[in-house]
Amino acid sequence: MLRAHPVEAIRAAERPLIEAAAAAGDPDAVMRRAASGVAHHTAALLRRRTGGVYGRSVMLLVGSGDNGGDALYSGAVLRGRGCRVEAVLLDPERVHGRALQALRGAGGRVAAAGTGTDSSTPDVVIDGVVGLAGSGPLREPAAATVAALAGAGVPFVAVDLPSGVDADTGTVHEAHVRADVTVTFGALRRAHLLASPTCGRVEVVDIGLADMGSEPLTVLRPDPAEVGRAWPVPGPDDDKYTQGVVAVRAGSARFPGAAVLCASAAVAATSGMVRYVGSGSTDVLAGRPEVVCHPSVAEAGTAQAWVVGPGAGTGTEAVADIDAILARGRPTVLDADALTCVAGHPVVLRSASAPVLLTPHAGEFDRLTGGRDRTDRSGALRRYVADLRDRGIPATVLLKGRVTLVDDGETTWSIDPGSSWAATAGSGDVLSGVAGALLANGLGCGGEVAWPAVAAAVAHGEAARVAAGRTGGAGAPIGAGDLLRALPSAISALRGA
């Protein structure tokens, strides 16, 4: 499991190291260690991209703080390895003096932004514009310089964080660096897990930082192997009931497919039994004859967990069904149309005495929250969960997207499947089916509902990867049906990870 920390915690952990270095008369010792890590990973990128290091050209984008200092010291190291290094100073009046001297001493070229820079396109850019102290989008002249280099296809190595990405919220501002590699120091920052697609491959350099624990603002990323180990496996004494029965209320005349995708995903996720309530029994049974269908919520037999919502409608009947399901007092996944019902009738959640898992996409989340705080996704999520919990609703929320977040009011989990192939119609129905099955099974090594939600998101992402890669090569677009069919291979891969 990876942990990513808020800036305040990082700064507090670094302080003793920096003070010790200063007391020993070498105030830049930590910075030079960090910089040699940046140089090491930049050299590795150059080798991968160009087959070597010697003679390659490196451009440093140097801001006014210590992030720029790291870039300058790393340039000095790369100069020592035979690179041509040019530093572009974004604010020549405010630059880390000793680091600049080190670069000059090593034979690096220095220019102010917009004046007489080397005209050839560099092999790599080191982004030392701004790091932990950054806020807001890249400012000029950094924004225009970055846009031109990115447009020319030059790879970026970000020092600490891609500039233009907020360290704590992970907000990616319009003007920002998209990094191929991000080299950070001692421990991950929250943005590394909240904005992982913008950070590229994240490398953590050891600077002698003591191990950091968790606190409420720490973001966690699950280890796929851990999810695989926790996946429910029937034992010798198990039967179809002991593994947890999940009931699915999904589908409508307008959306028959949602019923098939959701119920079939529940069947694929664990052994045991799946019940179905809705208008789609014929279609569900055509694909999955093992599903047990019931004419209404009231007539459904016992289930250890429920899923309600995919394609299930938003009328008064749908709201009444949600109410009836919650009144059964079992853990329940509320997805899709059920979330629209909750947004319109928040009072319906009052019937929830057992844990509920809400699984909105961005639009549904806006509907639930009135569209507040679009820029600080994880903060808005934490506040929404806290609101629900303050109202006595035992809620966990899974916010979908390329980076899926799960928050139970105490912990934020982040899942990034590494590609966006899962962004396809109906794939959310598959996710809620998997989550419901895991909830019914009582999977719970990391919390009552958060862990099944996290495990479902991991398996969903892995299924997308398997499905998109089924043809080999670079991968191909998938539909939700492909993702569904890939679930068994994905679960098997996780269990073998």
Ligand X SMILES: NC(=O)C1=CN([C@@H]2O[C@H](COP(=O)(O)OP(=O)(O)OC[C@H]3O[C@@H](n4cnc5c(N)ncnc54)[C@H](O)[C@@H]3O)[C@@H](O)[C@H]2O)[C@@H](O)CC1
Ligand Y SMILES: Nc1ncnc2c1ncn2[C@@H]1O[C@H](COP(=O)(O)OP(=O)(O)O)[C@@H](O)[C@H]1O
Q: Is 428 annotated as a binding residue?
A: yes
245-249 vs 356-359, strand pairing mode: unpaired
Minimal CA–CA distance to 88: which of 65, 66, 68? 68
The interface mask with ligand Y, positions 350-369, x = CB under 6 A, is -----------x--------
Count of residues interacting with ligand Y (CB under 6 A): 17
Interface with ligand Y includes 333 (CB under 6 A)? no
Q: Is 136 annotated as a binding residue?
A: yes
- Smallest separation, CB 33 to ligand X (Å): 8
Instruction: Out of 221, 249, 275, 460, name the contact with ligand Y by CB under 6 A.
Output: 460
Choose between 346 and 401: whose C-beta lies nearer to ligand Y: 401
Choose between 249 and 400: whose C-beta lies nearer to ligand Y: 400
- Smallest separation, CB 37 to K ion (Å): 14
Name the burial class of residue 496, with classes exposed (0-12), middle (13-18) and buried (19+) by CB atoms within 10 angstroms of its CB.
Answer: exposed
The listed partner (ligand X, ligand Y, K ion, none) that binds 170, CB under 5 to 8 Å by sort, is none
Distances (CA, A) of 5 to 132, 209, 408: 12, 13, 18
Choose between 177 and 434: whose C-beta lies nearer to K ion: 177
Interface with ligand Y includes 294 (CB under 6 A)? no
Q: Is 114 annotated as a binding residue?
A: no
- Smallest separation, CB 95 to ligand Y (Å): 38
The listed partner (K ion, ligand X, ligand Y, none) that binds 127, CB under 5 to 8 Å by sort, is K ion
Instruction: Out of 260, 427, 439, 443, name the contact with ligand Y by CB under 6 A.
Output: 427
Site residues for K ion per CB under 5 A: 127, 131, 158-159, 163
- Smallest separation, CB 482 to ligand Y (Å): 13
Name the burial class of residue 217, with classes exposed (0-12), middle (13-18) and buried (19+) by CB atoms within 10 angstroms of its CB.
Answer: middle
Name the burial class of residue 401, with classes exposed (0-12), middle (13-18) and buried (19+) by CB atoms within 10 angstroms of its CB.
Answer: middle
The interface mask with ligand Y, positions 204-243, x = CB under 6 A, is ----------------------------------------
Site residues for ligand X per CB under 6 A: 14, 18, 30-31, 34, 63-68, 70, 129-139, 142, 159-160, 185
Interface with ligand Y includes 423 (CB under 6 A)? yes
Q: Is 373 annotated as a binding residue?
A: no
- Smallest separation, CB 406 to ligand Y (Å): 11
Q: Is 163 annotated as a binding residue?
A: yes
The listed partner (ligand X, ligand Y, K ion, none) that binds 66, CB under 5 to 8 Å by sort, is ligand X
Q: Is 400 annotated as a binding residue?
A: yes
Q: Is 68 annotated as a binding residue?
A: yes
- Smallest separation, CB 157 to ligand X (Å): 12
- Smallest separation, CB 185 to ligand Y (Å): 29
Q: How many CB atoms lie within 10 A of CB 248?
A: 37
Choose between 65 and 313: whose C-beta lies nearer to K ion: 65
The listed partner (K ion, ligand X, ligand Y, none) that binds 427, CB under 5 to 8 Å by sort, is ligand Y
- Smallest separation, CB 138 to ligand X (Å): 5
The listed partner (K ion, ligand X, ligand Y, none) that binds 136, CB under 5 to 8 Å by sort, is ligand X
Q: Is 334 annotated as a binding residue?
A: no
CA-to-CA distance for 279 and 259, rounded, in angstroms? 9
First-last CA distance in the chain:
14
Minimal CA–CA distance to 97: which of 60, 142, 130, 64? 64
The listed partner (ligand Y, ligand X, K ion, none) that binds 185, CB under 5 to 8 Å by sort, is ligand X
Name the closest residue to ligand X (Cβ): 131
- Smallest separation, CB 413 to ligand X (Å): 25
- Smallest separation, CB 457 to ligand Y (Å): 7
**Residues near ligand Y (CB under 6 A):** 336, 361, 400-402, 404, 417, 420, 422-423, 425-429, 431, 460
**Binding-site entries for (6S)-NADPHX:** 66-70, 131-137, 160, 258, 311, 361, 429
What residues form the annotated binding site for AMP?
A: 400-404, 428
Q: Which residues are annotated as a binding site?
A: 66-70, 127, 131-137, 160, 163, 258, 311, 361, 400-404, 428-429
